[in-house]
Structure 1
Amino acid sequence: MEDITTAVRAVCVTAAGICIISHLTEGTRLRSQAEFVYRLVFAIVVAGFIFGGIKQIELPDLSIFDSNEFSFSTEAYDNAVVEQTASNISDILLSQLSAAGITVDDIVTEVNISEESGISINRVIIRTADFEKAAEIICCSLGQETEVVNGNS
């Protein structure tokens, strides 16, 4: 932190020096030469900070993230994706059934996501008074192989 403070001070002093020299030597041939010298000093200060800082930078040890404490994250992520996908499909089916005039008490979609990221809709459990019509709409949307289960029984 002290190195950063020193570098910032050096940059500020150098920038102030450039401004002062440019105002004092305005209209003279000395102005361009003095500005050139101060700009070189400015570049050296900034470069010195950058190259000096690179030597002192230490990368964090990332091996701590390979421990068993974080091994559950892939499984938790996969479960969250399955739950979110099932919820999204249920919401879409609910909107389709509502558009058809079918009142739905509850709809649960069971999905399976394969290793290749393929989504299989295993079963749809639905609670509604008009189950036959709802099952027909769901099978038209998801395919005839989708199992639609009456949740009322």
Structure 2
Amino acid sequence: MVSDSPNMPRPTLTDTLFMLFLRLMAVVCLWFALRYWAMLTGFSFGGGGRFDLLPPAWKAAATALAVMFPVAGVGLWLLAPWGAVVWVLAAATEIAMHEFYPSIFGINRLLVLTHIAVAIVYLLFQVALVFQRRKQARQVRTDLP
């Protein structure tokens, strides 16, 4: 008897951990988005970070990040490849803000190091998944005629 549905391989531990990692990144991205929106609308920093009170560089950066982070969070939660791309753009923007323009945006080494550490973990997961898929492709397949 032939099954109508294709046989889907069970997710491995690496797949499951990577999915949990992406979902955790999604939650963090949404937290960053809420932080930027709270700043821009005056709910944080005692209203001192309201959009109309910010210098032009902060207006551009905070507005872009307030849009990029929720988009990245949704993409990461859905496990879509574009979610990671948008997250990389948002993280690179924050790294550039604090590393290349510290006189405008201030120095935030912890944020920069955290973005770099998360990017390294993401790359390590990608390498592990590539090796895992290569190993699975080499295994003898019993479903072939």
Structure 1 length as normaliser, TM-score? 0.26
Higher relative contact order (CA 8 A, sep 6+): 2
Structure 2 length as normaliser, TM-score? 0.27
Compare the two structures and name the one with the higher strand fraction.
1
Compare the two structures and name the one with the higher helix fraction.
2
Q: Which has the larger radius of gyration?
A: 1
